[in-house]
Chains A and B, each alone.
Chain A
Amino acid sequence: MSEFLIEGESLHKTYQMGRVDVPVLRGASIHVREGEWVAVLGASGSGKSTLLHLLGDLDRPDPDAGIIRFEGNTIQDKSNRRRNHFRNREVGFVFQFYHLLPELTVIENTMLPSLVGLNRFKYYPRREALRTRAKELLTSFGLDHRFSHRPRELSGGERQRVAIARALMNEPAVLLADEPTGNLDEHTGGEILDLLAEQHRAGLTVVMVTHDVSIANRADRVVELRGGQVVEEEAISHKP
């Protein structure tokens, strides 16, 4: 059994912009223990979102340029089916712009990972239990009056809470949050961070990307990314 829940080792990632290759990650490594809250701090374009996408297997590192491991197993070695399952069950993504499906209601958006992960034969027997789970999550996030609303009818803070509820629906091992407060005012952003802290206290592993030092300081540990490499790791001692 690995010491780390999720880790990225010597990750390289290059994007092509027209005819120009733009290296974003140049051998970045990150190691996250179970139950840890790690903030990845960096300026715009430093590659922090890319690092998060690689950890969540939403993107792939350059060929032969780094390894992603989950519970000690290399993600790249797994079949596409196992990797889809990994994204569905083991990680939950939260994005800066919420990324809710506009045609679905709040409760349907929350249940989306369950709908994706289960076929109709597995879904229907568990439908009520899943609805109850989604409702409980939303209620605990103060959204019990919003079940049948569409995302466009919600405020920014409410949308982000729905996005977090969606990320937690399948009880993932790790939450990957990409600038979760980046699109919110300070007060609402604070509420969202409180919510993440609460989940963390309940035992959830969180990897959060931010460019804001004060927000990064809410984490257990801050990893700074500069020029596509991790240049500094800092353990935060002033935990609330």
Chain B
Amino acid sequence: MYQPLLTNRYLASRVIPFIAVAAVALCVALVIIVVSVMTGFLNLVKNSGRTLMGDVVVTYPVSGIAHYERLIEMVNELDDVEASSPIVDSWGLLKMPYPDGPGKEIKYIQFWGIEPETFAAVTGYADTLYWKPPTEEKRAMMRDDDFRKRIADDFGEDILERFAEAGRTLQITPADPNDNEPRPAISMGIHVSAGNDRQRDGSYEPAIGGYWFMPKFEVTLTTIPVFDGAIGDSESYIFPVANEFVSGVFLIDDKRVMIPLDIAQKMMHLDEAKTYNDLTEEEGIDPARATMVLIRGKEGVEPIALRDQVAKVYDRFHVEHLGDVPKRGLNLKVMTWEQQQANFIGPIEKERELMRTLFMLIYLVCAGLVLAIFWAIVYEKTRDIGILRSVGASRLGISWIFLRYGFVVGVMGAILGFGLGYLVVHNINNIHDAMGHPPRWLVGSLSVLAVICALLTIVRSRTGRLLPVVVGTMTTLLLTIVALGVYIIRARGGIVIWDPEVYYFTEIPNDVDVGSAIITMVGAVIFSLIGAFVPAAKAADTDPVKALRYE
């Protein structure tokens, strides 16, 4: 019964256990932050992959799959399939409207020819469009000077709906339908245009007060078709910009544009064409082709199971169109989106596990700290051990005091560490912004604190004691160095720590990986206990007579 009382009193009456608690908390927080960000990053990759590609992909690059409409029809007959959509995927050059030196900037991009309606059913494309009316909830969170609010103020509330409609359909309908035909349009990743500046709240502001707002302009897409193993002449097409989209994956937002499927087929010479014999007699029709077919399964359907079903369908399709379509194999592949992204996802998964394993070493730090601190406490409490033995405490009972103590330190450290980790992960983007662009007041506050600390150190040095001088000097130096660092960062116009060009995503993942957090917390408690075992055994072995004589 005495152990809880003594554990509490020993804990409450000295600072050193709280240093152990703080150390354990920092270790736990560090692991939680690192693993959460890594897991969040991996989840983002996986989720964005599925959102952007559906569950299963049938690909046959360059040459394309003939009779793809029939394949889609057969696939859609499967009970587990929600929707399918054809894609023509290729690379090209995009002439931007803004100048780069004397001429216009040319950007190397990937274009996808899509059927907007089926593509939206397979992917979350419609939701990724940026220039669209915000929901009430989103509007409430938007800044007053957000560009979307400004154009709604200037051109009426329905302007954003018109952009959204143009983005969804990839065509721009003139105000008066009698004037002109609707024009095929392009939808671009938000970072394709250098004119879109990402703001700290995640919104985008077209450069020069909104002047370089892309939906005002036209762009020219140029590509070189490849057919029958030969490279053809370049093909160009001028598109008005319908909208821009934000997938959240920087690689895609920086490089991909969407155009109507039929235009892409024409540009790549994958559209339906007559075939001729000896270039004179009409022989037949070469059907239109698509380089990919994206397939989304119904909710709850496993991608691998769906892939197997689609593979069987493709095999039947191949038999049906023997000679026109390739056999499943080296170039024609039926894959889950995860398999298609395997080269990307695999290393990240391995990296996360490596990080998790390396950071587990931190547990040894927990154990070592608790051991060292408790060793000192047992040493200090030697006489108490003798007293307790003299009133009948058993050796096991004595050791239990220190094991409880280790347990309490571990639990407190784990809970505090979780809290700290949660706060950091939850606010990691704000912290990142603040670190990258530290506010001016921070420099001032740190400088003032450094001066106050220096003055206090000078005053305390008159007492002749060394400890306050050492602590004061170290704190002053630390504050000065941090203030200087913050000043330098500000002077350089801020730094980008999480560069989206390196990490693919524009935002740092900020969801705590609860499973890993719980494992980390339990690990910290166990290793704190392990650290307490040795001092507890020493306490149990203490000779009560020697302990009572201990001064």
A residues at B contact (CB < 8 Å) = 50, 53, 56, 58-59, 80-81, 84-89, 93, 95, 99-101, 103-104, 108, 112-113, 115-120, 123, 166
Contact B392 A113 (CB under 8 A): yes
Question: Is B391 within 8 A of A112, CB to CB?
Answer: yes
Given contacts A59-B544, A116-B1, 19 further A-B pairs with CB under 8 A are A53-B545, A56-B390, A58-B390, A58-B544, A59-B545, A81-B394, A85-B392, A87-B391, A87-B392, A88-B392, A95-B548, A100-B387, A101-B6, A103-B6, A103-B13, A108-B5, A113-B392, A115-B1, A116-B397
**B390 partner residues in chain A, CB cutoff 8 A:** 56, 58, 87, 93, 95, 99
Check A166 against B391 for contact (C-beta < 8 Å): yes
The residue of chain A having its C-beta at the shortest distance from the C-beta of B394 within the complex is A84
A87 to B386, CA, bound (A): 12
In the complex, B151 has a CB within 8 A of chain A: no
Give the contacts of B343-399 with A (CB-CB under 8 A).
383-384, 386-395, 397
Across chains A and B, which 3 residue pairs bring their CB atoms closest together, nearest first?
A: A88-B392, A103-B9, A115-B2
Q: Give the residues in chain B near A50, CB-CB below 8 Å.
A: 545
Cβ–Cβ contact A58 & B391, under 8 A:
no
With known contacts A59-B544, A95-B548, A99-B548, A116–B9 Cβ distance under 8 A = no
From A59, A89, A95, contact of B392 by CB (8 A): A89
**B498 at the binding interface (Cβ < 8 Å):** no
Q: What residues on B are CB-neighbors of A56 within 8 Å?
A: 390
B10 within 8 A of A: yes
Which of B1, B9, B386, B394 makes the CB contact (< 8 A) with A104? B9
Please report the C-alpha to C-alpha distance between residue A13 and residue B397 in the assembled complex, in whole angstroms: 27
Majority secondary structure, A binding face: helix
- B2 contacts across to A, CB distance below 8 A: 112, 115-116
Chain B residue at minimum C-beta to C-beta distance from A121: B1
Complex CA distance for A26 and B439, rounded to whole angstroms: 80
A58-B544, A103-B13 given as contacts; is B5 within 8 A of A116 (CB)? no
Q: How many residues of B contact A (CB 8 A)?
A: 23
Residues of chain B whose beta carbon lies under 8 Å from any beta carbon of chain A:
1-2, 5-6, 9-10, 13, 383-384, 386-395, 397, 544-545, 548
B1 touches A84 (CB 8 A): no
Q: Which residues of A contact B387 (CB under 8 A)?
A: 99-101, 112
**Cβ-defined contact, B5 with A119, below 8 A:** no
Question: In the complex, A59→B5 CA distance in Å?
Answer: 27
Q: A178 vs B9: C-alpha distance in the bound complex, in angstroms?
A: 28
Distance in angstroms from A147 CB to nearest chain B CB is: 16
Closest residue of B by beta carbon distance from A54: B545
Judging by beta carbons under 8 Å apart, are A116 and B391 in contact? Answer: yes
- Partner among B1, B5, B10 whose Cβ is within 8 Å of the Cβ of A118: B1
Q: List 6 interface pairs A-B (beta carbons < 8 Å), by A numbering.
A: A59-B544, A85-B392, A95-B548, A103-B10, A113-B391, A116-B393
- Would B391 and A88 count as touching, CB distance under 8 A? yes
| Minimal beta-carbon separation of A110 from chain B (angstroms) | 11
* Cα A112 to Cα B390 with chains together (Å): 11
Inter-chain CA distance A58–B389, complex, in Å, is: 7
CB nearest neighbor in B for A119: B1
Chain B nearest CB, measured from A124 CB (Å): 8
List of B residues within 8 angstroms of A118 by Cβ: 1
| Residues on B with beta carbons closer than 8 Å to the beta carbon of A87 | 389-392
Nearest opposing residue in chain B for A96, CB measure: B548
Which residues of the partner chain B approach A108 to less than 8 Å between Cβ atoms? 5
Q: Which B residues touch A166, using CB under 8 A?
A: 391
CA distance A21 to B1 in the complex (A): 39
Chain B residues in 8 Å Cβ range of A120: 1
Contacts of B544 on A, CB cut-off 8 Å? 58-59
Q: Assess A116 versus B548: contact at CB under 8 Å? Given A103-B6, A103-B13, A123-B1.
A: no
